[in-house]
Chains A and B, each alone.
Chain A
Amino acid sequence: MIIVMKQGAAQPDVESVVKRVEELGYKVHLSRGEARTIVGIIGADEHKINQENFEVMDGVEKTMRVMQPFKLASRDFTHSDTVINVRGLPVGGKQVVVMAGPCSVESRAMIIETAHMVKEGGATVLRGGAFKPRSSPYSFQGMGEEGLKYLAEAREETGLSIITEVMSVDEVELVGEYTDIFQVGARNNQNYSLLKALGKTNKPVFLKRGISGTINELLMGAEYILSGGNMQVMVCERGIRTYETATRNTFDVNAIPLLKDLTHLPVCADPAHGTGMVKLVPAISKAAVAAGADVLMVEVHPDPKRAWSDGAQSLDPQQFARLMTELKPIATAVGRGI
């Protein structure tokens, strides 16, 4: 349930509403918008609360039941777009943020070289996996902490922020020491222990939709992180499993406006995984920006043919630079910058 305060409601009125909610044994989420404040009520059986008891309080305009199972992630709770500050870079604002880099960190020289290339192309965040969730246990599993160190070094050299995947609860602390944004991969969309652990950190989390995950499940995954107290969550469409095998995944472009409608969190798109094929990445990147994505994540490798993982969906630096040039007019056409 949410309690919408009147425009310009006095602070003591807000405080007494909050106090009353807490007395009833529920948690409160306060969202102070430009025009009005919204008091969100979170608890297992909040539907038992009598709305009328709040509607008669001073400063209260109305109360509303939130129909969706996700509360903190819902647009009803927080009306305006959440803008996440990543080392001074706003994510979710007017500028479309491009995160680019290799699928895996393969060596020190490779990640630093790629960092320079993507920075030149216009990326503001460097991606690179150090812990890799590979389908086969025999495939390259990532460089681990060594990879994290190289990412940090690339950040030093280029000034780019870094994003890298964290796969398990026991890695959270280690990865958190290095990274600016935690990435939760598609396979961990519903790893609730991991999500809870990330909810207790104070770093932004980039949550990917599960391979066969519904939009509802994605937002419930985000809710796990938010309910732990970490309000800096981005949600990412990366293609879903369907019967079609002409592409690696089916990029569900509907997810972008749907998520923008349902949640205030920044919405990201990953056309590399969404298609699985380099020759489709530019068209789908443009479509994602046109559909309203706040963030684009692309895989870029200095020599995709020699990439240790995901080479078929990685752009080379020239292709990336060309794509960035082509994305600018699309961003402008939807009233944004890149």
Chain B
Amino acid sequence: MIVVMQPGASGAEIEAVIRRAEQMGCKPHPIYGESRTVIALVGDLTRVSREVFDEMHGVANTMRIQEQHKLTNRTTRPDNTVVKIAGSAVRIGGDEVIVMAGPCSVEGRSQLIETAIAVKEAGAKVLRGGAFKPRTSPYDFQGMGEEGLQYLAEAREITGLPVITEVMTVEQVPMVAEYADILQIGARNMQNYGLLNAVGKVNRPVLLKRGMSGLLKELLLCAEYIASNGNYNIILCERGIRTYETATRNTFDLNAVPVLKQSSHLPVAADPSHGTGYREYVPAMCKASVAAGADALLLEVHPDPDKAVSDGRQTISVETFAKLMKDLRRIAEAVDRYIDEDDDDEAFLDLSELAELEVA
């Protein structure tokens, strides 16, 4: 159930509603929107009566939410949630389409820094790179761990790009949160509820990927796990689903983008690299994602994709990425959005200076 406050309701009136809800045994979540404040009541609603709230000062009306996802529901918050990345100007869910790019795995210091500089130059706003890797085989490269996180932090220092990296287990959360600007929950962990509860308690935005055979309804309920712990800075991500078709690695379900945008206020990202699995189709799928209304793209880019230690087949080169960004700007404009050019004057190292860096 949600209690919708009148525009301009006072802090005391909002407080009174919250206290009353707590007395009735449920958990109130105030959601401060641009136009109005809403208090979402979740948990045990058996003792909650709508009439009590209807009569309180400052209350406009009360509404039942039929769907199981409450805090993440579009009805609860008609405005789009814009996730702000602390310490940067990056905002996900606004008019700007944010491109997050980088290698599948952090493979070494110079590889990562080189890629970070190149993707920034092409217009990426966030650097991706895995330090803890959920690989299908236990014998495959499992990631560089904390060393990888340190390189990510260093790449951020140099380029100014915030970083997104995956966290796989509850005990890794504090360590990864120390380095990362956005915590990524991979497809295999969409329904790892312990992990969702843990990232719900940290003050870091979370990018939540749809499970390999996850329903959209399940994705929204997993986001609800995070939100119900107090962390509303969630980005949902479509990354392709398992179907009978084997011509591509996954079936990229772009229907998910408008469905999620309509049923939730959270920003929606698309991961065309995993969605197709083949680098030759990644540019077309990036364009399609932006055309369908995605707020962000998560892309695998590597200076030499054929030599990437993981996911090389779906990784595009920095040259392809730079050209793709130009094409994407035109698509973004066609849907009344934009993708920024890298026009800031911040001093950061160019490629010629990288050689010196490596020597150092």
Q: Hey, which bits of chain A sit against chain B, CB under 8 A?
A: 212, 214-216, 240, 242-247, 250-254, 256-258, 260-261, 274-275, 279-280, 283-284, 286-292, 326, 329-330, 332-334
Contacts and interface: CB of A to CB of B under 8 A. Distances in A.
Given A250-B255, A257-B280, A291-B284, A332 B334 contact: yes
B259 A258 contact: no
A291 B257 CA distance: 15
Contacts of A280: 255, 258-259
A333 B334 contact: yes
B104 interface: no
A243 B213 contact: yes
A286 B337 CA distance: 14
B258 A242 contact: no
Given A287-B257, A332-B330, 19 more contacts: A212-B244, A214-B245, A216-B247, A240-B245, A242-B241, A242-B253, A246-B215, A250-B251, A252-B243, A252-B251, A280-B258, A280-B259, A283-B257, A287-B291, A290-B287, A290-B331, A329-B334, A329-B335, A334-B287
Contacts of B327: 333-334
Contact of B258 (A279, A289, A329, A333): A279
Interface string B321-360: 0000001001101110000000000000000000000000
Contacts of B333: 329, 333
Interface residues of B, number: 39
- Tell me the dominant secondary structure on chain A's binding face: helix
A243 B288 contact: no
A246 B259 contact: yes
Contacts of B248: 254, 258
A324 B57 CA distance: 48
Contacts of A288: 288
The 4 closest A-B pairs by CB, nearest first: A329-B334, A290-B291, A333-B330, A257-B284
Contacts of B291: 283, 286-287, 289-291, 330
A215 B245 contact: yes
17 contacts: A212-B244, A215-B247, A246-B216, A247-B259, A252-B245, A252-B252, A253-B252, A256-B288, A257-B285, A279-B258, A280-B255, A286-B334, A290-B290, A291-B287, A329-B333, A334-B327, A334-B331
A285 to B, nearest CB: 9
B284 A292 contact: yes
B247 A214 contact: yes
A256 to B, nearest CB: 7
Contacts of B215: 243-246
Contacts of A290: 284, 287-288, 290-292, 331
Contacts of A250: 241, 243, 251, 253, 255
Nearest to A288: B288
B99 to A, nearest CB: 15
